[in-house]
């Protein structure tokens, strides 16, 4: 079973952005793509290791809109 990220879990170690902060940014800044997420939040632009959780949270968030 996959690990379920909690609201205050850091999803990108390089930026120290939490799941809650990232989801709020998607909503507040109307982010609709990975490129926009990178540009507006700084996630996934350094080491790149957070790609899977960033893509999943973005996809899940967009499917709810």
Closest distance to ligand FES from the beta carbon of 28 (Å): 20
14 near ligand FES (CB under 6 A): yes
35 near ligand FES (CB under 6 A): no
Closest CA to 42 of 53, 59, 54: 54
Give the separation between CA 3 and CA 45, rounded to whole angstroms: 23
Q: Which two tokens stand for residue 4?
A: 């379920």
Residue from 19, 41, 44, 58 that binds ligand FES (CB under 6 A)?
Answer: 44
Q: Which residues pair with 12 in a beta bridge?
A: 17
- State the residues that interact with ligand FES by CB under 6 A: 12-14, 43-50
């Amino acid at each position: 079973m996959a690990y379920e990220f909690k609201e205050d879990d850091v999803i990108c170690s390089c930026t120290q952005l939490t799941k809650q902060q990232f989801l709020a940014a998607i909503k507040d800044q109307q982010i609709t793509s990975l490129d926009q997420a990178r540009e507006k939040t700084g996630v996934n632009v350094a080491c790149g290791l957070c790609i899977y959780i960033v893509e999943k949270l973005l996809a899940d968030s967009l499917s709810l809109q």
